[in-house]
Amino acid sequence: MSVYWVSYYHEIRDEQKMAAYAELAGPALREAGGTILTRGDSEHHYEHGGPGKVVIIEFASMEAAVAAHDSAAYQHALTVLDDGVVREIRFVPGID
């Protein structure tokens, strides 16, 4: 069953840190088996939503998504990001 890594950026505090993170995180997550399905600013938001960047990455399994997050390459990207953003990440199982 596919698993979707959903990142929602509430605030980007430091564009340079964000750019450096993206340069490292994208390749690290693709090498770990992730497929980036979308990455960009939300164009319409409803209810409690507000403007913000959204990234959705597909993985083959929950184990693969967690392993990608915990990998040395992705953890290095996180150190570069530091406190440059306020965001949340959720891993959501797909529907069979």
pLDDT single digits (tens) 43-80: 888 888 778 899 999 999 999 999 999 999 999 999 99
* 46 against 12, higher pLDDT: 12
Q: Residue 3 carries which DSSP code?
A: E
In this predicted structure, which of 31-35, 40-44, 74-78 has the lowest mean pLDDT?
Answer: 40-44
pLDDT grade, residue 7 (50/70/90)?
A: very high
Tokens of 37: 């399905």
pLDDT (0 to 100) of residue 44: 82
**What's the average model confidence in pLDDT over 39-46?**
86
**What's the average model confidence in pLDDT over 7-33?**
97
Enclosing domain of residue 64: 3-43+51-93
For residue 55, what is the domain's CATH number? 3.30.70.100
**Chain-wide mean pLDDT for the chain?**
95
pLDDT (0 to 100) of residue 68: 98
For 69-96, give the DSSP string. Answer: HHSHHHHHHHHHHTTSEEEEEEEEE---
Residues in the chain, total: 96
* Number of domain units in the chain: 1
